[in-house]
Structures are given as C-alpha cells and as structure tokens.
C-alpha cells in the first residue's frame, strides 16, 4: 500500500498544481470555446490510435516467440479493454499488467510478456522521442535546426541498432508504433485546435508531439501535469498564452481519457471470438497453466 501511495502522490501533486496554476475560470472559458465537430474528429483519431494497439501487441508477441498468437480480433479487443488500466498506474504499466492478465497466458509465459512490455515501451519511447524531436525543430532558432536534426537521426540509428542487437524482430512493432503515435499526436493537435486555440495545425502538431513525449514520464496518471507543463513552456514559441494552451491540453486530454475508458468498458461487451489462430485459448495452450 505504501509503494502504491508513493507512486500516486507525484501524480496527485502534478494534477493539483496544474489545476491551481491554470485556474477554474480559464478552464471554464476553454470548455465553452470547445467546438463539438472538431473534437469528435480528434476523438476519432485517438480511437483509431487505440485500435492500432492490438496489431502492435500481436506483432510484439510474435517478435518474442509467444505461442499461441492471439487472433488480430482478440488482440485488438483485449488491448482496448486494457486501456482502463491507464488510470491504475503511471506510464501505462497498468494497461500492460491488465492486458497480460486477461490474455490468459500461464506463468510460463510471464517472462515473454515482460519482454513484450519492454519492447513496446522501448520502441514507443524511441518513436515518440523522434516525433517530439522533429516537432521541436521548427520551434528552435534557425541556426540550431540542422544540428538538432542530425543529432536526432544519429540518436534514432543508435537506438534501433541497440534494440536490433537484442535479436528482436522489432520492425513490425516499430511500424505499428509509428501508426499509433501519429494518430494520437494528430488527435491531440486537432483537440487543441477544437478548444479554440488559434494556431496552425503543423504548429500544434509540433507542441503536441513534445507534450506527448513529456507525458510518458511515469510520474503522473495519463500524463496529467507533465503534458500541461510542456504545453505551457512551448506556448510562447507559437505566440500563444501558456495558461490558455495548458488549459486546452487539459480539457482535450480529459475528453480523450473519458472516451478511452468508455471504449474500454464497451469492449467488454464485444465477443473476442477464437482467442488464437489455432482456435484455442492462450490459457489452455500453455503447459502448466490453470
């Protein structure tokens, strides 16, 4: 219980500090300016990004030799259901744990499931750091852009070589990760625009990519506080008020979280069908499982 409290306290502080700094009046004003249709478009992008977690998880399972593989439908439904775990632990680890439990694999597969979680987190961090880096380039002084771009490319190559040395077939995982993150970052950018933020979508995509990367730090729940801090710091770079942009991020991310949890709960009413390509459950196919 104490360990859980130590993990939650930083998240509570981050959320509380964001609410105190932004102020209720600013949040209410931002909420009133929210346009329904653009926000629905942002929600759709986020939903498509969440759906893409299923194929990515299946690709990651295949890369570590997990057998039997779940069907694409089963992997997608289980991944969708597990998204309710984003409120259980910082950094998305709650979703990893919940999906691993509901997959039905026995204890013999826990080591491989841990490798899957590592692979998804490592490649996700690299891809999102790359997106954030390239998104940050237009916001840098002109003299720093070429050097920054070269540094990002070198860092990407080094990171992928390091993962490749671990003998994972990570290319399909990286491809699906890029799809997931492009959809989610685009959704955040459209969501910021939907709250009345007056800036071009490319500029909003840039700050959204950096904010999404900041939210990966496992010190908050669903990135609250960290994402708003990143938006506030970058706001002057695109001629926006820090509090206003942070309020937009808070409103948009809260709407996305509500939509994600609703979709995760709705997915529990969606039949998985045959859980594996062989037609048997993961649990029954793993020796020694119960």
Token pair in block for residue 244: 């206003």
The tens digit of pLDDT for each residue in 244-255 reads 999 999 999 999
Q: Is residue 35 within 8 Å of residue 196, measured between CB atoms?
A: yes
List b or e across 87-117, with b for residues whose CB sees 16 or more CB atoms inside 10 angstroms: ebbbbbbbbbbbbbebbbbeeebeebbebbb
Place of tokens 């929210």: 34
Task: Tell whether the model's pLDDT for residue 212 goes beyond 60.
Answer: yes
Q: What is the structure's pLDDT at 152?
A: 80
Q: What is the structure's pLDDT at 285?
A: 39
Q: What is the structure's pLDDT at 6?
A: 53
Average pLDDT of 194-201? 90
Q: What is the structure's pLDDT at 167?
A: 67
The tens digit of pLDDT for each residue in 50-108 reads 999 999 999 998 888 877 788 899 899 989 988 887 766 655 666 776 776 777 665 66
All structural domains of the chain with their residue ranges:
39-271
The tens digit of pLDDT for each residue in 152-196 reads 888 878 877 777 666 677 788 989 999 999 999 999 999 999 998
Task: Tell whether the model's pLDDT for residue 22 goes beyond 80.
Answer: yes
The tens digit of pLDDT for each residue in 120-137 reads 888 888 888 888 888 888
CB count in 10 Å sphere of residue 7: 16
Query: Residue 162: which of 204, 130, 200, 119 has the closest Cα?
Result: 119
Whether the model clears a pTM of 0.75, i.e. scores above it, the answer is yes
For residue 79, how far is the Cα from the chain centroid?
A: 12
Average pLDDT of 30-52? 94
Going by pLDDT thresholds of 50, 70 and 90, the confidence category of residue 10 is low
Q: Is residue 52 within 8 Å of residue 177, measured between CB atoms?
A: no
């Amino acid at each position: 219980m104490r360990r859980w409290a130590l993990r939650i306290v930083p998240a509570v502080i981050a959320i509380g500090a964001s609410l105190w700094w932004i102020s209720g009046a600013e949040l209410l004003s931002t909420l009133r300016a929210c346009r329904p249709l653009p926000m629905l478009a942002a929600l759709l992008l986020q939903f498509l990004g969440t759906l893409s977690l299923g194929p990515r998880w299946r690709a990651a399972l295949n890369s570590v030799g997990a057998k039997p593989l779940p069907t694409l439908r089963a992997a997608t439904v289980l991944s969708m259901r597990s998204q309710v775990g984003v409120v259980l632990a910082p950094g998305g680890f709650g979703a990893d744990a919940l999906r691993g439990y509901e997959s039905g694999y026995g204890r013999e597969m826990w080591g491989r499931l841990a490798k899957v979680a590592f692979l998804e987190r490592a490649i996700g961090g690299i891809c999102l750091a790359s997106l954030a880096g390239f998104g940050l380039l237009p916001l840098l002084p002109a003299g720093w852009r070429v050097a920054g771009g070269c540094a990002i490319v070198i860092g990407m190559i080094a990171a992928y070589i390091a993962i490749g040395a671990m003998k994972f077939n990570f290319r399909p995982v990286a491809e699906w990760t890029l799809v997931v993150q492009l959809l989610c970052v685009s959704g955040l950018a459209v969501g910021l625009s939907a709250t009345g933020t007056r800036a071009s979508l490319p500029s909003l995509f840039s700050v959204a990519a950096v904010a999404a990367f900041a939210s990966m730090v496992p010190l908050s729940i669903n990135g609250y506080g960290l994402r708003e801090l990143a938006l506030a710091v970058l706001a002057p770079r695109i001629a926006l008020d820090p509090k206003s942009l942070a309020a937009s991020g808070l409103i948009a991310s809260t709407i996305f979280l509500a939509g994600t949890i609703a979709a995760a709960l709705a997915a529990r009413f969606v039949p998985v069908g045959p859980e594996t390509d062989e037609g048997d459950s993961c649990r029954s196919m793993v020796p020694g499982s119960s």
